[in-house]
Structure 1
Amino acid sequence: MNAGTKTGAPAVDDDLAAGMRAQRLRDLIVGRREFLNLRQEEVADRLDMSARNYGNWERGVVKEWTDGKLFQLATALEMTEFQTVRLFLIAVDRLPDTRPIGGRGCVEGPSLDAFLFDYAAMMEALSLPTFLIDHRWEVKSANAAYRELFRGLSHHPGAMPSASFLQFGLFHPDAPAILVDYRNWQLSMLAQLATGLERHDQDMNLRRLQRDVHQHPSLREAYLNDMQTWVLGAGADLVHHEGTARIIRHPDPLIGLQSCRLVEETPRALQARGLTRITLVLTELDAEGAADLMCPRPTPCGV
């Protein structure tokens, strides 16, 4: 092999990688626009540019993707936080750094324990199920309404809702009985896992959870294929889901099926400790939501 061949090989590899990245970026941008049923001209109007210039954006004819351009594009295409992160990773191979994405790692120790003790007392006064999580969706504290929602569950190592909301939803055999529209719950939880891994790619607990997912064929298929397609449209993790309501079954028969929205309300004191507060807003299920229950749903895998 001559010197010219040796020096030329890396350039070919770089060109191939660049081409693949450009195609992934185009698939994301065009796919999102088509999901919204928008023409190029309509997106161009939102960006205050000509349709020709926007067409260059879709074709990848951009000299430099700045944070400003990417945030403008994400806004024009109504992208959620999850989709925006993916847009940055594909376009510039890094997370956004001009907007806060996620919190810091959870600070452990006596000061956290004391804070959680005081905050838990406040949460107990709330009538809606409320819980605190870290970036892994491990539950650090929960109120009585949350515990009541999941009372009577059979014990399952590593997948109890008092320990991890994600692992409960993905692996507990009783999860579909409570998370009634289970397919949507499952895909959004897998999207949440992907979001966590993109932000905390060295977190061994998240990587272990990902391995557990890959060990089960149905979850692996959903994670590698179905979730990617679902994200393009729904575009979200558990919380940032464009206001979509899901369906949940309360163990009290007088309450029964409820529409459920996950609402994030996180004061600075929690953010500083790497925690997020999630409230499950439960309301009476309408007729349309009840009709959706006729769709078949998968069952979770055992760990």
Structure 2
Amino acid sequence: MNTGKHDEGRQPAAPVTTSDLLRSHRMRLGATQEEFAQAHGFSVRAYRDMENGGKISMANMYALRESLRMGPQARTQFFRLVTGDAPCLRGLTVDEGLARVTARWAEVHLYSHESPTVLMDGGWNVIHFNAAWAGLFDSVEPHPRDHPLDNPMQFCFFHPDAPRIFLDWKESWLITAMCQFAHHYDLNHDSEQLIEIRNRIAQAPLLESLYVHRVSAELTERGADRITEGDVSDRPLLVGKRPQGALLTVSIPWHAREYGYQLLTLSYPNAKAALPRATVLPPARRTRPDAGPGSDATPAPAGTTTNCPAPGVRARQDRAVTVGQLLREYRKRAGLSQEMLPRTADLPMTFRTYRKLETDKGRPRKEQVGPLARALSMPTSVERFLYTMVTKGDPPTIGVRGGPVVQGLTERWARDHVDDQSQKAPTVLMDGAWHVIACNDAYRALFRHVPADPRNHPTINGFRYVVFHPDARETLAEWYEQWAVPYLVEFGATLMRHRDAPHPEHLGLLSEIQADPYLWKIYRGRIHRELQGGGNAIGFEGDGDVRGMHLPIGGPGSDRAFTEVLVTAGMPLHGKAYGYQFCTLTLRD
């Protein structure tokens, strides 16, 4: 637990604590601890304890964010400090500023892709799609809300053409999609759109049965892994008039990672030859002329119905799986009684308190998730799923890189999103410690003038190049403000996520920063303020930023020319648990 105190002689696991954030925002309001507590319904003792590093409940976290008038960045950082990370799914809509960044992002990562590609928000509403995606679904009957150019998830669930195009519909497509929906629904239980989808599932016997039984079992057994399984998976579908195996890959735009945005790509051999000519229909033409808003002009897939509840369903099971159900199932597997478990897990709670957890009349605290998972012998993926259900935040990454299975997935993912055949702009994919996993020839050419360095070269480690390589200050225009500060902010945010158990490689980087007086001054000053919410940095990639580079006109040592680059970034879904990130530098004319 944070103490709110700093020891300059030691290496802090993170530059900001809950104490820092509360104190700085209270002082901006010009109030003492006593004045603030009395004005906002806290006891003086309770508020003083929270500001001095004591425990902060989720309810108090939300109340304090409002009372202290925190801005968006500070709100996110406060959530991160209290729960361990930023919100897993903050909401399903974004403001106009974020929409503009998304449009830039799509130009680089969607419209240039020859394979069918679609960008969706957290409710799977289509934001952008390319001509290949439209061509893939050219034969789909119009529908007011379930067309794949409007909402691919609702198409998969409810449109009668889905089983025809998504071959092996139930096993290869539907179950994974429903697991993702169940996850988003749990995180945004008040979303009107997700409530409507849940109601439509309840009206279809097949879908309701799968949701209550199969999806519940899948999430209980495999947890977070089942939700991310869609990335880098082989799927059968109908392309034109013939069956085709496709590789499905998923990318998360960095700037919209807290809003559930996903870029979905379907790649297969001879995509151009296989696809019918794309006919991109405007929204008005994708709706039947006689279909009014919200109507169901198209029936649901075979085996479902949209106008009657599932047989025997009265008080339906709203969520596919709850915290209580997960705890109860694994307690039974462990052969423990409710009375035994608190003692076994060494938790400071009575069995009556624990019983409330299993009946969903109470929730574990964030710090109790780990001990409970260990006592119940939960797999790591299930523990991460439980963590998200309890905190509504992403759990800290498992490590900075995955094992052989993840490596194999990453190699396939990179062929679709990094290699020169798929991404012409300079692109690099890095692990959770910013070591380069893959980069394309265009990226290598962009930095061919950089002197060789076994540790700090941009083709070896992106973070180390920006922060430590002397060439960075010459190549990267406005190095301090536009490159170093955002990178160091992202580094500090990473340490905050893992403040309880920082990764050794991150601590090694921190030691090197601390050994450099100039970098350490930046880190303890500017970066500290940014992470408190008092600045504007949004992460080391600066997704959607236009920045400058000074690039040699000829070979190394030649005169340099100023060039603008559009920086776009994101993460592959399968590498999210390890902090994998990609970055593309698109040179602008």
- The alignment's TM-score, normalised by the length of structure 1, stands at 0.65
Gaps of 5+ in 1: 1-13, 35-51, 285-303
**How far 1:89 moved relative to its partner?**
6.2
The residue identity in structure 1 corresponding to 2:503 is D
Decide whether the 8 Å contact of 1:28 with 1:87 is kept in 2. no
In the alignment, structure 1 residue 148 sits paired with structure 2 residue 462: no
Q: Is it true that 1:139 corresponds to 2:436 in the alignment?
A: yes
Q: In the TM superposition, what whole-angstrom CA distance separates every residue of 1:214-266 from its partner, at most 9, and x where no partner exists?
A: 11111111111122234421143213x58543322344569943333432333
Q: For each residue in 1:139-175, what CA deviation from the matched residue of structure 2 results, as whole angstroms up to 9, or x when unmatched?
A: 2111122111111211223111112111111110101
Instruction: Kindly provide the amino acid, as one letter, of the partner of residue 486 in structure 2.
Output: S
Q: Of residues 571, 574, 577 in structure 2, which corresponds to 1:266?
A: 571
**Cα displacement (A) at 1:207:** 0.6
Residue 247 of structure 1 aligns with which residue? Answer: 548
| Contact 1:26 1:60 survives alignment (8 Å) | no
Instruction: Provide the C-alpha distance between the structure 2 equivalents of 1:60 and 1:262, rounded to a whole number of angstroms.
Output: 47
Corresponding residue for 2:23?
Answer: 26
TM-score, normalised with respect to structure 2: 0.36
Higher helix share: 1
Change (3 A) 1:27 1:205: same
- Identical positions, percent: 20
* Matched-pair contact (CA < 8 Å) for 2:546–2:565: yes
Partners of 1:221 and 1:16 lie apart in 2 by 18
Contact 1:138 1:165 in 2 (8 A): yes
- Report the Cα distance in structure 1 between the residues aligned to 2:428 and 2:544, rounded to whole angstroms: 19
Q: Does 1:237 align with 2:505?
A: no
Distance (whole Å) between structure 2 residues aligned to residue 104 and residue 243 of structure 1:
28
Deviations 1:75-106 (A, max 9, x none): x74433xx44642466x485453122664435
Aligned to 1:188, the other structure's residue is in SS state helix
Tell me which moved more, 146-155 or 165-174: 146-155
Which residue does 1:276 correspond to in 2? 581
1:112 is matched with 406
Q: Retained in 1: the 8 A contact 2:410–2:575?
A: no
Change in 2 beyond 3 A, CA 1:190/1:121: same
- Residue 87 (structure 1) aligned with residue 78 (structure 2): yes
Does 1:127 pair with 2:429? no
Q: How does 1:34-53 map to 2 (within 5 A)?
A: none
Tell me how far apart the structure 1 counterparts of residues 582 and 57 of structure 2 sit (CA, whole Å): 32
- Single out whichever of 169-178 and 103-112 deviates more from structure 2: 103-112
Larger radius of gyration between Structure 1 and Structure 2: 2
Aligned to 1:67: 58
Deviation at 1:66, TM superposition (A): 4.3
Secondary structure at the aligned position of 1:266 is classed as strand
Q: Which moved more, 1:254-263 or 1:181-190?
A: 254-263
Matching residue of 1:227: 527
CA contact 1:56–1:62 (8 Å) conserved in 2: no
Matched positions, count? 247
The letter for the 1-side match of 2:540 is L
Alpha-carbon separation, structure 1, partners of 2:4 and 2:472: 46
Extract unaligned runs of 5+ from structure 2: 7-16, 31-35, 51-55, 87-390
User: Aligned-residue CA RMSD in angstroms?
Assistant: 4.1
CA deviation digits over 1:22-46, x for unaligned, max 9? 5641314666x99xxxxxxxxxxxx
